[in-house]
Structure 1
């Protein structure tokens, strides 16, 4: 195999390489930032509407977050009020029971202390 390749030289490709296509940039003389220079009006309108939809969706999401936060605050206030009322009821019942127990132990209510056998 090596003997076949010894006498041969490598040949260059016969076709010429393709040059890279050069493009000249397109400049607008009176450029205004934010203005759409797209010549295809339908595509420009579609892009503008998509941008508007995205903007509205972001605004709606922001409003939903605000509403959720407000509702959470209202629920927390209601829960705190409920907890406070529950604690007051518990304290009132506990005070009543302690008063009853004190009355029984001190002999004011009933027969007083029972004597052990």
Structure 2
């Protein structure tokens, strides 16, 4: 199951990065960015659930666990807010949305990198 968890978390990185940087480069939030945000969220959540099962009751009360949960919550809020922005059709909000995206992406990188560098007790 570890290999599937690693693949899932890595796919989250790929999709979320493509969504965030695609939006930044294109200069405006588009529907395909939103789809990629949600795919990244699903991959991250799936990988996190698998990792928590592997860790056999490991606590989330450590740096990696707490930043990881914060990252998932922020990703979820980010995707929901992107949905609202696109549904409302506010052009100014679509253009400025990348500022939020970059912040959430940078925060998301913290648990990704800490998990890769320090590893999580399994």
For Structure 1 versus Structure 2, the TM-score category normalised by the shorter chain is under 0.3
Which has the greater radius of gyration?
1
Higher relative helix content: 2
Q: Which has the higher contact order (CA 8 A, sep 6+)?
A: 2
TM-score, scaled to structure 2 = 0.25
